[in-house]
Amino acid sequence: MEASSRKRGVRPWEPEATMRSKRRNSSRGQGRCHDEGRHREREDNVEPAGRDTFQAKTIRNREAVPPGAPNLPGNGTVKKKRRVLHSVIDKVFNWNNLKSASRKVVRNKGSAGVDGMNVKQWQAKEEQHLQELRWRLIQDTYRSKPVLRCYIPKPGSAKQRPLGIPAVVDRACQQATHNVLSPVFEEYFHEDSHGFRPGRSTKTAAKRVEALHKQGYNYAVDLDIKGFFDHVDFEILMKLVGQVVKDRRVLGLIRGWLKAGVMEEGNIRYTTSGTPQGGVISPLLSNVYLTPLDNALTEAGYQFVRYADDVVILCRSEEEAAGALHYVRTVLDRLKLELNEEKTSTRTFKEGFDFLGFRFTNRGRHIAGKSLLALYGKVREITKRQQGDKPVTAVIRVLNPLLLGWGNYHQEGRNVGMFNHLDTWIRKRLRSYIYKRWRTFRWPGVNKPDREEFKRMGLFSLRTILRPDQLQLKLSPAPQ
């Protein structure tokens, strides 16, 4: 048998089926027609399956960014093969997925949408609402409601930021879809994108800026995209999403949320661009939309850090910074976005620049002026004197969560002196509040509350975040 196999030119370890297949293919190849060259040319033009991934498509998309090969993340390593979702609607209306999404919506609280149902009302009949939502998703009869327009103060500005509040049922459906899509899109997002992603935050973005500064990147191009959430183009966004998600029903859900309309003062207005700030799915879609920008910057050789629509490009020279700014304008133009020229600037670390509420200088990371002013305003509002007979301990209970959250955000950095100053100022505010209620012209010496008295009242001190009163590690009692 082995000798006969060698005579036929077949490897002896190949199975008999493989031998027959090779003989059949070789016999077919002998009778090719005269236009063999044309067929071979057509086959050579076909790209191998699996090469055209989401990042490659987003770079080549003629309505998105210039051509390039964006398959490398920020650290220059090649990622594993990325998935494409062909049928995922069954995972969206999976009962366990809907329950998990509903619990997260209830945990995040939030106000009611256009239907007037708040989170407590939803929670009271959660099983019934979820069964109805699941049935509508199965029957393909689910239709999203318009979002309710409201405005919140914009920190550091007299303007107001518009929010779109979806109905609770739409929030639950968006969260269920987000649970399914987010892990897959995570494989495509850039390493230097830190906004609304698991395991990443503003602190990781700030550390990345500091690491690049240590590597010699002394120029920072601070980009401000003009009205990003209001100018996201629906068609470009759906093309980008459609390169990963092939399920037409899931694509229909996303398109329905984008085109649901906005209710403001009783009137419904439909838009052709923008994603409403306040929607559960909006942060994921914003990252999808700006991934072509990330890939284009990497392909051009620029180092950057992005958190949602806040982008800073780190450069080694002023000429490189000017080139980066020009390149970004070209890419954003094809994404149908533009820069806010008044807020976009090029700074050095010696001059200092603000990013994500931090102030970066040659000396390190500090607190940005807008963040500090915002804290002053909130503390003044909580400790204002015109609050009737409200005891100071009740004021402290309202004040503590604000101080704890703000202090933890700015825990890293050179902020010891500022934290001590803020502690002193907050105690003065509380003493003024007590003085107003006592209606006296001077402090009684024995009743003037000092630092220890406020500590007994439960006032949180920012200094304790950086320098705890007690050591965390002890081997033995301290010597007397």
Distance from C-alpha of 312 to C-alpha of 79, rounded to nearest angstrom: 24
pLDDT tops 60 at residue 79? no
Q: How far apart are CA 359 and CA 366, in angstroms?
A: 5
Contact predicate 296/59, CB 8 Å: yes
Q: What is the mean pLDDT of residues 17-39?
A: 43
User: In the predicted model, what is the mean pLDDT of residues 201-209?
Assistant: 95
Does the pLDDT value for residue 71 go beyond 50? no
With bands split at pLDDT 50, 70 and 90, how would you rate the model's confidence at 62?
very low
Instruction: Please give the pLDDT value at position 388.
Output: 79
Q: Residue 52 pLDDT more than 70?
A: no
Cα 388 to chain centroid, rounded: 42
For residue 25, the surrounding DSSP H or E stretch is helix 16-29
- When pLDDT is averaged across residues 224-251 and rounded to a whole number, the result is 93
What is the Cα gyration radius of the chain?
A: 30
Q: Degrees (nearest 5) of the Cα angle 272, 242, 237?
A: 30
301 vs 161, higher pLDDT: 301
Q: Given this model, what pLDDT does residue 267 score?
A: 76
User: Is the model's pLDDT at 322 over the cut of 70?
Assistant: yes
Least confident segment among 39-53, 212-226, 394-408, 419-433: 39-53
**Which pLDDT does position 269 carry in this prediction?**
75
| 196-205, 260-269, 349-358, 425-434, range with the lowest pLDDT | 260-269
User: How, if at all, do strands 310-315 and 345-348 pair?
Assistant: unpaired
328, two tokens: 């970004």
How much is the mean pLDDT over the chain? Answer: 81
d(CA 196, CA 199): 9
Alpha-carbon distance 186 to 464, whole Å? Answer: 37
Mean pLDDT of 70-90: 63
Going by C-beta distance under 8 Å and a sequence separation of 6 or more, which residues neighbour residue 276?
Answer: 147, 163, 164, 166, 229, 262, 282
Could you tell me the pLDDT band of residue 89, with boundaries at 50, 70 and 90?
very high
- Pairing label, strands 160-165, 345-348: unpaired
Q: Is residue 408 predicted with pLDDT exceeding 80?
A: yes
- In tens, the pLDDT along 144-203 reads 999 888 888 776 666 777 888 999 999 999 999 999 999 999 999 999 999 999 999 999
Distance CA 86, CA 12 (A): 41
160-165 and 303-307: which strand pairing? Answer: unpaired
For the ranges 48-62, 242-256, 262-276, 303-317, the lowest mean pLDDT is seen at: 48-62
Percent of the chain exceeding pLDDT 90 equals 59
pLDDT for 163: 84
DSSP per-residue codes, 380-430: HHHT-S-STT--HHHHHHHHHHHHHHHHHHT-SSS-HHHHHHHHHHHHHHH
**At residue 30, does pLDDT exceed 80?**
no
Local confidence band at 449 (pLDDT 50, 70, 90 cut-offs):
confident
What is the per-residue pLDDT for 385?
87
Region of poorest pLDDT, from 43-47, 81-85, 158-162: 43-47
pLDDT tier for residue 264 given thresholds of 50, 70 and 90: confident
The residues, ordered by sequence, that sit 6+ positions from 283 with a Cβ below 8 Å of its Cβ are: 195, 196, 308
CB 166 within 8 Å of CB 145 = yes
